[in-house]
Amino acid sequence: MDRTIAIEIVYRGIFQKNLAKNISRGIVLAARREGKWGISFGRYGDSPERNGIPAKSFAIVAPTQEELEESMARYEPTAVDVSIVVDDTLCKGVESWAWYGLQPINKLVKPGATLLVTSIQPPEELLKDIHQKETEYNLAMVKGIASFSGLWVYKDDHTDVRILGALARICPQLYNIGSVQQAIIDEWGDPLKATSAEVSFARVEMRKVLPQEGNPEKPFSFQLLKWWEMREGVVIPAIKMGEAMKDPETGKTGGYRPARNATFKKFSTRSMRPVIDFDTCIKCTLCWLQCPDSCFDVTADGLYDANMEACCGCGVCEAVCPVEKCVTMVNEQHFNDNASQWEMWKKDKAGYKQWVDELLARVPEKRMHGFQIRGQYQQEIKELAKLGLAGGREEVSTEEVVDHGAG
């Protein structure tokens, strides 16, 4: 190894915190077995880290202690050799600190370096969301759904060790597969995890991404004031009052749409969004009352429209709605914009109904974010085991995987 290697892990705050920690720590432990120097550390995406807010952990590996200390003096990398994404909805971009606007998920990836994503989607689908980059890079795929291995109800699905195994293939100068397997056994005392890493090493998929490939849209951005542009005194401009909404069909005004922060957008927080069936809404107000981020607009006809630039995707609205399938959380990957659902419904009710029905028909029993039934996560792990994803080999029994590593 002749140079320092930097790796970032982009994850959803709180939900995947332990997962990211396990990955970054595992990288350093494997590298240390080969005599390299390394450090694993994290930083909050928001302060404090909130549910679903994009956050990051880092692992830095260097050939010498001096080079590691030099890297540490910069606080965190501005360019990385591998960017790991453990929830594929983050491919749309992240606004982790609310200081920069929306950042492309591949922003820190060096020319010729790798973006590693856990997903069951093909690369072509992910590239519809991943913003274009001026230089070539590699897109690597580890098959799997968004992992909850960092949630407080911890259940082990081997996502962490599968990513560690894939890294040995993607970035061989970091460590070899033997070193990471031994580090896994030393850290977790689990030969099955070591086997998962080995099979992931063999199965990881990679493809080159050219500069013209990806989402051509310019991400949302804004410019912070320079110190000489700020007003005198301690002044924090308030957010303006809201206003009534206008019905696009009748021109009637009414209801209320609160004004929102013009620069901080929370939509990169969500991995799912609510889809509203306005034809079945009984106007009970519960979604509007219970939404923790006040993202519902009260329309001129007394309905409730989830504002997609304010929605963080927590799923509370679905949980409190008394009407079956009036509010349904749907995977964020199915949407290309943050347009108003209510306005879409008002303009073409039949077309909107067809759109909703088609979306709901694609909603699987297993959820990418949030749970509908008690014990659902254990069922997902069993399904992954049957696919040979969680345990790493086709003959793994479901009981073996579910019983392993729960903590």
Encode pLDDT of 214-250 as tens digits.
999 998 888 877 888 877 766 777 888 899 998 888 8
pLDDT at position 152 over 70: no
Structure tokens at 83: 């960017």
Please report, for the chain, how many H helices and E strands are present, in that order. 12, 13
Residue with the larger pLDDT of the pair 355 and 403? 355
- H helices of 240-375, in order, are 286-290, 316-320, 341-347, 349-361
- Res 387: pLDDT: 52
Strands 272-276 and 253-257 turn out to be unpaired
What's the one-letter identity of residue 23?
I
Number of residues that make up the chain? 407
* pLDDT band with cut points at 50, 70 and 90 for residue 124: very high
| Residue 200 half-sphere exposure toward CB, CA atoms < 13 A | 33
Q: Report pLDDT digits (tens) over 272-312.
A: 899 999 999 999 999 999 998 889 999 999 999 999 989 98
Domains, the chain, in order of start with CATH, read: 5-209 (3.40.920.10), 236-361 (3.30.70)
Mention every residue, 6+ apart, whose C-beta is less than 8 A from residue 368: 89, 145, 146, 271, 272, 331
- Res 76: pLDDT: 79
- Res 407: pLDDT: 28
Residue 86: φ, ψ to 5°:
-100, 10
Strands 296-298 and 304-306 turn out to be antiparallel
- Please tell me whether the overall predicted TM-score, pTM, comes out greater than 0.85 for this model: no
**Distance of alpha carbon 359 from alpha carbon 341, whole angstroms:** 13
Q: Report pLDDT digits (tens) over 181-216.
A: 999 999 999 999 999 999 999 999 999 999 999 999
* CA distances, 174 to each of 27, 114, 387 (Å): 8, 13, 29
Q: Quick one: what percent of the chain has pLDDT higher than 70?
A: 84
- Res 2: pLDDT: 83
> How far, in whole angstroms, is CA 241 from its chain's centroid?
32
**Distance of alpha carbon 215 from alpha carbon 333, whole angstroms:** 13
Helix 159-170 with 177-188: angle, nearest 10 deg: 160
